[in-house]
Homo-oligomer: A and B are copies of this chain.
Amino acid sequence: MKKKLIVGVDLGGTNLKIALLDNSFRIVHKHTHQTERFSSPQSLIGAIIGAVEYVIAHHCLKARDILGVGLGLPGPIDFDRGIVHFFPNIPGWKNVPLRNIIEKKTRMRVAVDNDANVMALAEYSLGAAKGSRNAVCLTLGTGVGGGLILDGKLYRGSSYAAGEIGHMPLNERGPSCNCGGRGCLESYIGNRRIMQQVRKAFGQDIPLEEISAMAYRGNKKAVALWDSVAGHLGVALASVVNLLNPDCIVIGGGVANAGRILFDRVADTVRCRAMPVHARAVRIVKAKLGSDAGMIGAGLLVKQ
């Protein structure tokens, strides 16, 4: 019997990425579409279905050759019912039963989950957390997203909303956060906040890659900036580590590209601030699958 293939879809605020995956979740083919031009949920759903059908037809496959379609989505999802509650960065979505809609149209099995969970699944199954039992996966970008693998399984929480590492408070009287809380990690190290600090330190916008390069060349302001990011992140991770005692923390997303200058200091802070047993148990590593993680993780949903 021919082994079935899987379609993995990674929907973001800017791009819709779609991959055909083989049985070992290797990418056979991938394709990127822009999402911004789809102004309504209907048109975006149409585009998703169109992209899925295109990738299948392009490989001369039929629906019966496909084990299923997985989607990683940028917002809170009811995993069991396959409903999108809303997307913070794509307007017009409210409690859309996306799984059912796509299942009906494509006559294939569909699974949906949020992007942080999907990234965690991918890094745990095939990436930087492979072989671990308890892994905490973070994405550092505009927001700070998190996914938790506990006792070898994705942990979703009671309303599918677990993993909000970006909204763990670092200071009781810290700055107000959009979430309603105060002193949240994201309000210290979200991309926007880092860019504010860049403007303050350098008097202009400079891309983060350049700030990293400057730091590696010894620029003191650039080093101080990464020290500050790593310090805040390290304290938040010390908290996570003391609570969950994971063996692996995977950090991905644009900010993670800073590399050693970020990771070394984060590891130092965790070593200093977490309890010794907990600090010894955990390794802190860079995500391995990069921008493919979303598509691969979405594919993994189908086999869950």
Which residues of A line the B interface, CB within 8 A?
76, 132-134, 146, 148, 150-151, 153, 155-165, 167-172, 179-182, 231-232, 235, 238-240, 242-247, 272-278, 280-282
Contacts and interface: CB of A to CB of B under 8 A. Distances in A.
B277 A180 contact: no
Max chain B C-beta neighbours (<10 A), residue from A150, A151, A239, A246 = A239
B172 A170 contact: yes
A161 B274 contact: no
A35 to B, nearest CB: 24
B278 A172 contact: no
A275 B169 contact: no
Given A167-B275, A182-B273, A281 B158 contact: yes
A169 B238 contact: yes
A276 B162 contact: no
Nearest to A167: B242
B162 A245 contact: yes
What number of copies of this chain does the assembly contain? 2
A275 B181 contact: yes
A203 to B, nearest CB: 27
A163 B243 contact: yes
Which 6 A-B residue pairings sit nearest by Cβ, starting from the closest? A157-B245, A158-B247, A162-B245, A164-B242, A167-B242, A168-B239
B245 A181 contact: no
Given A134-B158, A155-B151, A172-B232, A179 B243 contact: no
A181 B232 CA distance: 14
Contacts of A157: 134, 244-246, 278, 281
Nearest to A231: B172
Contacts of A240: 243
Given A168-B239, A172-B170, A245 B158 contact: yes
B275 A244 contact: no
Contacts of A170: 169, 171-172
Nearest to A135: B158
Contact of A275 (B134, B148, B155, B164): B164
Nearest to A158: B247
Contact of A281 (B159, B235, B245, B272): B159
B243 A172 contact: no
Given A157-B281, A159-B281, A161-B277, 12 more contacts: A146-B243, A161-B245, A162-B244, A162-B245, A164-B278, A167-B242, A169-B238, A169-B273, A172-B231, A179-B275, A180-B273, A180-B276
Contacts of A134: 157-158
Given A134-B158, A180-B273, A275-B180, A169 B245 contact: no
